[in-house]
């Protein structure tokens, strides 16, 4: 298992996404950028481990209903900033609606995620959260954690955008995104998830569809960046719209690159 992954018991996909080299010859500082799935099932030991990181800010990318369904316990003495967003409706997450309404085949799962990633960068809720995340990153005096429910799609996109502005090599951006397929324990969890979905939905998804919902595919991230280029002109222009123009990006690089 990658040394980046923190082996927690009740929190999946918890890892450091710093410590990558940059195109300019520096290196993103380790121990400053963390990402994970939700913390609703964190054990006391997990909370102790998380508390020891000294997080200055936690960015919860989930919808209100997701937060209500899996409230986040905090480590004892936690004093960091918590960034959440209530914009939009209180509907269930799109992937849950998809599971309820479609045939759960590999083809439909792939089509769902390609469409999701093409639109996710421009969802009003995400624009607000991403903007606040980058502002916090510029001011935080300690590590910042981003997470959603599974820690792979919304979180994966935001981590990739962070890597891009810090100048991380494209192959490392992709490698970090794909590390979810190891960190989320795909093969180990897939049979249990399939059984649970069958009980919930009254129909059993294919094994490939289950793995698509637990893991990630590089084509999905490519779809997001292609949509950003098509609608914003460039990733830099998109980031500028979030308040991270070149001057702000330079300040972030100065803070996070060693």
Considering Cα of 93, then 45, then 57, then 17, what sign does the dihedral take? negative
* Calpha distance 106→136 (Å, rounded): 38
Among candidate residues 50, 104, 148, 179, the one labeled active-site is 148
Distance of CA 22 to the CA centre of its chain: 21
Q: How many residues does the chain have?
A: 258
Residue 85 among the catalytic residues: no
* Calpha distance 75→97 (Å, rounded): 32
* Calpha distance 93→62 (Å, rounded): 8
Residue 234 burial by Cβ neighbours in a 10 Å radius (0-12, 13-18, 19+): exposed
Side-chain-side CA neighbours of 95 within 13 Å: the count stands at 23
* Residue 35 near residue 157 (C-beta atoms within 8 A): no
The pair phi, psi for residue 103, each rounded to 5°, is: -85, -5
The crossing angle, in degrees rounded to 10, of helices 154-166 and 218-232 is 60
* Calpha distance 148→167 (Å, rounded): 24
Catalytic residues: 148
């Amino acid at each position: 298992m990658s040394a980046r992954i923190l082996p927690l018991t009740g929190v999946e996909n918890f890892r450091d996404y710093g410590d990558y080299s940059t195109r300019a010859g520096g290196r993103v500082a380790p121990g400053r950028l963390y990402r994970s799935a939700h913390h609703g099932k964190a054990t006391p030991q997990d909370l102790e481990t998380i508390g020891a990181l000294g997080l200055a800010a936690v960015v919860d990318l989930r919808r209100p209903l997701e937060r209500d369904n899996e409230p986040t316990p905090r480590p004892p003495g936690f004093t960091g900033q918590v960034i959440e967003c209530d914009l939009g409706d209180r509907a269930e997450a799109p992937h849950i609606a998809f599971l309820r309404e479609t045939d759960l085949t590999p083809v439909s799962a792939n089509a769902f995620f390609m469409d999701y990633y093409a639109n996710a960068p421009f969802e009003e809720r995400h624009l607000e959260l991403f903007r606040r995340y980058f502002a916090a990153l510029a001011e935080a005096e300690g590590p910042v954690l981003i997470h959603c429910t599974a820690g792979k799609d919304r979180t994966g996109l935001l981590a990739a955008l962070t890597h891009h502005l810090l100048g991380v090599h494209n192959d490392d951006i992709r490698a970090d995104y794909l590390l979810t397929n190891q960190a989320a324990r795909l093969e180990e969890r897939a049979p249990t998830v399939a059984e649970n979905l069958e009980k919930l939905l009254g129909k059993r998804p294919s094994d490939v569809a289950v793995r698509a919902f637990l893991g990630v595919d590089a084509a999905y991230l490519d779809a997001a960046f292609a949509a950003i280029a098509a609608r914003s002109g460039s990733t830099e222009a998109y980031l500028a719209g979030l308040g991270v123009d070149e001057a702000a990006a330079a300040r972030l690089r100065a803070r996070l690159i060693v």
